[in-house]
Amino acid sequence: MQTRSMRKSKEGFVISSKMDKSVVVGVEQRFRHPLYKKIVTKLKKIVAHDEENKCRVGDKVLIDETRPISKTKRWRVEKIIGQKRMEGSNDTSTN
């Protein structure tokens, strides 16, 4: 019998939090190109379940694999690692 420890876990940053109880998380994968030997960065967008709507754009989060919640959601937000805010947010504007 499989346990929860067998599930995958990834670290990424929140790209969009406009949906109710859902966030889009960008997970970067960096690798060396086999022919050109340059570092290539790929971005994978994953829709994750955020039950309490705590995540904001720019936050660094840890997501865990879970059972299918909807058509696109197979991941859930485990915890918020960093509270980095992106530029252009309306948190503390002085103008």
**Average pLDDT of each block of 10 consecutive residues along the chain (95 residues)?**
75 96 96 97 97 94 96 96 66 49
How is 19-59 classified by DSSP, letter by letter? STTEEEEEEEEEEE-TTT--EEEEEEEEEEE-TT----TT-
**pLDDT for the residue numbered 93:** 44
4-81 belongs to CATH 3.40.50.300: no
Report the DSSP pairing between strands 39-49 and 75-82: parallel
Can you give the pTM of this predicted structure?
A: 0.78
Structural contact between residues 25 and 63, judged by C-beta atoms closer than 8 angstroms:
yes
